[in-house]
Amino acid sequence: MSEELENGKKVILTADGLKKLEDELSNLKNIKRAEIAQELKEARAQGDLSENAEYDAAKDAQRIMEERIVEIETLLKNVEVVDASEIDSEKVSIGCRVKLRDMEYKEDMEFQIVGSTEASSLQGKMSNESPVGRAILGHKKGDTVKVETKAGKIKYKILEVSAGNA
């Protein structure tokens, strides 16, 4: 991720995605840091640090947390927020919800197009950089789009396009 940012690539987020990152950063800095500091203090009080598993675990947790803080701060410096009022519900764009039909299997799927940082199949959020996301960007309801995947070409029909989390 940091390699992408070094190349000047913008991190595209929805307003919801931005809030989640800001909340996570606040939690890490204001709550988690204090918790880990307390764990370190308690582990130090146990004596010999060379054989202290609790101390080692707390140090590892501290390192991982600090790395995540730096990662989030870097993301936030390069963020471009998709303005919900500018989402065109006539065509597929970042931030909109899309309903597609797999033309071969006649199965429907629905998801929100988001930047790669926010993508999560479990939450119904598809990256604009994924093969399907990239292929459908700019298309309209009723369009049929062919997507080149590792499994071959798949045809999807765009059934619905709506703004945001609607």
The CA–CA distances, whole Å, from 9 to 35, 74, 137 equal 34, 11, 19
Structure confidence at residue 165 (pLDDT): 61
Task: Please list, in sequence order, all residues whose beta carbon lies within 8 angstroms of the beta carbon of residue 7, skipping any fewer than 6 positions away.
Answer: none
User: What is the tally of helices (H) and strands (E) in the chain?
Assistant: 5, 7
pLDDT at 108 over 70: yes
Q: What is the predicted pLDDT for the residue at 4?
A: 46
Whole-number pLDDT of residue 88: 75
Q: Of 147, 35, 140, nearest to 96 (Cα)?
A: 140
Residue 65: which pLDDT band, with cuts at 50, 70 and 90?
very high
Reported as a pLDDT band with limits 50, 70 and 90, residue 30 is very high
Domains and CATH numbers, the chain: 2-82 (1.10.287.180), 85-162 (3.10.50.30)
Of 27-36, 47-56, 58-67, 114-123, the poorest mean pLDDT is in 47-56
The answer to whether 116 and 125 have CB atoms below 8 angstroms apart is: no
Cβ atoms within 10 A of the Cβ of 50, count? 7
- How do residues 126-158 score in pLDDT, each as one tens digit? 999 999 999 999 999 999 999 998 888 999 999
Long-range contacts (CB closer than 8 Å, 24 or more residues apart) made by 140-147: 140/90, 140/91, 140/92, 141/90, 144/103
Average pLDDT of the chain?
A: 89
DSSP labels, 5-67 = HHTT--EEEEHHHHHHHHHHHHHIIIIIHHHHHHHHHHHHHTS-GGG-HHHHHHHHHHHHHHH
pLDDT of res. 67? 98
In the predicted model, what is the mean pLDDT of residues 46-68? 90
Tokens standing for residue 73: 């701060």
Q: Which pTM was predicted? A: 0.76
Handedness of CA 70, 71, 76, 78 (dihedral sign): positive
Query: Rounded to the nearest 10 degrees, how much is the dihedral formed by the CA atoms of 150, 151, 152, 154?
Result: -110
